[in-house]
Structure 1
């Protein structure tokens, strides 16, 4: 990967008296605007990219708190999913309760290389004591960087906010702990008036201490846009490129953290990768504040498409995790959610079922059976026809090659007649798998026997 030379122009902190709230872009009484300056920045996907996880931090704060044993079990699942590939590199923990500290300690004692246990604290020295007591090597620290937060939430000036943030970073460095600076609300921040001079100070501290300092760019309200030529502060391309060229932050020290308020969390995260950030912060199933974080499972498939493989990751664990959240944690996954929803690879349309009957590649995104342990499924309703019923039998019982049932099989016709009769009598719901099993048992008992033999 080619290195980008830091700009020779040094940006100074603009310690303004009144906040810059970008009211032309964020009028509040209207939907936010996207402005364009037509500046094109170069795409530069780093050689090494990876995923980090915030399931136990941002994910946990948006739903009933996880029990300690649930945290530990999910952590084990993350390790199993990563399978020592290093693609899921870190996960972060709250340390505010005895339960969370105990869970983090147990996870650290597992001794896994991936994911590494890190923590999250507010930018104050009292929180920092928790990190030191736990012996955690890296911690994230909240550092709000927009004037919305600096002036309205913290009631400080930009200079006061910067000084406070720098002091807590210095405290971490003095104790040999690696700081990860979470630049909250960066997509509404004055990039050249606050972010760049602040990050430049952080890079100076990093150089002086010889300890890496990570920069997490936080799209707190999901306002980032991936469009080429978009203006700051909303441009994901511009933010990542600017951190690298104006501040000299290496790609491996840049992490993107997005939210899904405008349905753009995955495209924004991929854009951050493509324009120079090595790390994308995610949560399992996208669980997080308001509309959620970037789904970890989504970025695994983005990684696969950008890099051509997922190494030795065990992607079947994605399905196991979805089942765990549903059964053990009573979490409702919307049924059409890609990769994890109960209906993500289910087809109801008769013409699609006919295509799947001929070759499932026609209407399935990839071999979901092989990759996710989720065979393609055909739902049966009044529109399914012979093809739909035959396709259901073949997919449900995982029949291969010569075992497959043809739609011209007269027994398929008998099942179709039964289905049609159901809807003539006023039925409005799809035919359940258990009902179709009974029909197969009645008309095709040999298929049931083959299925039982395979299972045993």
Structure 2
């Protein structure tokens, strides 16, 4: 298509050959980080929030959820949000009758947050589904890199852009607010395609009196948070460019990341810090390949940045138990905030510190905030301090009644523990074993709830 005949004010830069950024993404090597020295100011919005795509992007990577499972998980989102609006939206498919039944069941709960939104293909029948379900906003896929435009869609940039803009107009004609998902933005030509596309989207929204939301999709997790990094991988430059050059306000910018390069949480926080109000998550980071940004991580990140919403993080562990029971999902014991061992200590020197002041080796009150008290596990390195700390944990005694590591009972149990490892044991001593041994020596220990 001849771009000079385009009805839109801003034109895509058509190229004869796709720009695959081979200098940054040489397929025979690990991607290359490039720096151009440019910097952008931090611009943390006054209001930031979380959107969730567990039931859309997350569910794609797992066995299908039942309606009952979806509604139960939706309840957890609502309880954790605690009527604050921090978990602003929850995203759903609408394709199957089961999908639609789940949406209806969640709608019937009548909660304000999270609001229900959807994701559809850009065709008339899908628009009708959104209207029928009375959903005010829906996501629309708009692949942006030449990998997709040339290699998958087999189109020119101009033709592709006009196809996307026609979809936006169709959504607006149906009375639906589109949310434009700019797929693979971290491999896309920002000035040659992304910027003119978003400028035209903004113009269509202004004409319709609607602020259209833009989701920046880091589809392969290639985005980087570093100042001075070059486009297309620089998250600060992407956010800053869309705000200043395309005029998209913070409240209409949303970051969607994947964890292919272990940066998903840092990247999402960087998007917040540089002007995007929303970051997209899934429960426990489920999703394609290495997964999406974990909801629990961004709840903690928010709490560090703002601390102004009374969210209820005590439901995270209960949600994790539900997830494991219902889906056979195995949680890494060392996963931050939700794993069994995330605040566990086995080292004697750490246990000694915890006995003196829990904050020495626990960075916040995990019992009060997460309903997860510090856990002490006894093994060959625990020493007297570790055993004493374990006893005090199980007895739940006040500070004035705590057992000292010099207590004879501690020496007795320590001797028994040492004997186990002298005989070749390699595993940690279980709580049940320690209870039995301690009670055999004294009868003093009783488990506390």
Partner of 1:26: 25
Partner of 1:366: 364
Partner of 1:408: 406
User: Which of 338, 346, 371 is matched with 2:344 structurally?
Assistant: 346
Q: For the residues of structure 2 that align with 1:349 and 1:248, how far apart are their CA atoms?
A: 54
Distance 1:406 1:103, change over 3 A: same
Asked if 1 retains the 8 angstrom alpha-carbon contact of 2:44 and 2:274, the reply is yes
Tell me the CA shift for residue 350 of structure 1.
1.3
Q: For the residues of structure 1 that align with 2:278 and 2:293, how far apart are their CA atoms?
A: 12
Asked if 2 retains the 8 angstrom alpha-carbon contact of 1:377 and 1:396, the reply is no
Q: For the residues of structure 2 that align with 1:272 and 1:397, how far apart are their CA atoms?
A: 45
Asked if 2 retains the 8 angstrom alpha-carbon contact of 1:251 and 1:277, the reply is yes
Tell me the CA shift for residue 52 of structure 1.
0.4
Tell me the CA shift for residue 239 of structure 1.
0.3
Tell me the CA shift for residue 444 of structure 1.
4.6
Q: For the residues of structure 1 that align with 2:338 and 2:212, how far apart are their CA atoms?
A: 35
Tell me the CA shift for residue 192 of structure 1.
0.4
Q: For the residues of structure 1 that align with 2:59 and 2:442, how far apart are their CA atoms?
A: 48
CA deviation map 1:307-361 (0-9, x unaligned): 1x15211110111111111122211111111001111011111111111111111
Q: For the residues of structure 1 that align with 2:144 and 2:267, how far apart are their CA atoms?
A: 19
Q: Which SS does the other structure have where 2:142 is aligned?
A: strand
Partner of 2:5: none
Q: For the residues of structure 2 that align with 1:205 and 1:396, how far apart are their CA atoms?
A: 63
Partner of 1:5: none
Q: For the residues of structure 2 that align with 1:416 and 1:330, how far apart are their CA atoms?
A: 37
When the two structures are aligned, how many residues end up with a matched partner? 441
Partner of 1:274: 273
Q: Mind listing any 5+ residue stretches in structure 1 that lack a counterpart?
A: 1-9
User: Which of 420, 438, 441 is matched with 1:440 structurally?
Assistant: 438
Name the stretch that deviates more: 43-52 or 400-409: 400-409
Asked if 1 retains the 8 angstrom alpha-carbon contact of 2:10 and 2:200, the reply is no
Q: 5 Å matches for 1:39-438?
A: 39-307=38-306, 309=307, 311-438=309-436
Q: For the residues of structure 2 that align with 1:313 and 1:409, how far apart are their CA atoms?
A: 42
Q: Which SS does the other structure have where 1:192 is aligned?
A: helix
Asked if 2 retains the 8 angstrom alpha-carbon contact of 1:11 and 1:193, the reply is no
Q: For the residues of structure 2 that align with 1:196 and 1:148, how far apart are their CA atoms?
A: 17
Q: For the residues of structure 1 that align with 2:280 and 2:394, how far apart are their CA atoms?
A: 36
Q: Which SS does the other structure have where 2:303 is aligned?
A: helix
Tell me the CA shift for residue 70 of structure 1.
0.4
Distance 1:222 1:437, change over 3 A: same
Q: For the residues of structure 1 that align with 2:115 and 2:258, how far apart are their CA atoms?
A: 23
Q: Mind listing any 5+ residue stretches in structure 2 that lack a counterpart?
A: 1-8
Q: For the residues of structure 2 that align with 1:85 and 1:343, how far apart are their CA atoms?
A: 30
CA deviation map 1:277-306 (0-9, x unaligned): 000000010111100100011001111111
Partner of 1:6: none
Tell me the CA shift for residue 168 of structure 1.
1.6
Q: Which SS does the other structure have where 2:224 is aligned?
A: coil
Asked if 2 retains the 8 angstrom alpha-carbon contact of 1:261 and 1:290, the reply is yes
Tell me the CA shift for residue 440 of structure 1.
3.3
Q: For the residues of structure 1 that align with 2:227 and 2:240, how far apart are their CA atoms?
A: 12
Asked if 2 retains the 8 angstrom alpha-carbon contact of 1:303 and 1:310, the reply is no
Q: For the residues of structure 1 that align with 2:164 and 2:392, how far apart are their CA atoms?
A: 61
Name the stretch that deviates more: 117-126 or 368-377: 117-126
Q: For the residues of structure 2 that align with 1:160 and 1:398, how far apart are their CA atoms?
A: 68
Q: For the residues of structure 2 that align with 1:29 and 1:392, how far apart are their CA atoms?
A: 52
Q: For the residues of structure 1 that align with 2:360 and 2:117, how far apart are their CA atoms?
A: 44
Tell me the CA shift for residue 405 of structure 1.
1.4
Q: For the residues of structure 1 that align with 2:421 and 2:337, how far apart are their CA atoms?
A: 31
Tell me the CA shift for residue 261 of structure 1.
0.4
Q: For the residues of structure 1 that align with 2:212 and 2:441, how far apart are their CA atoms?
A: 67
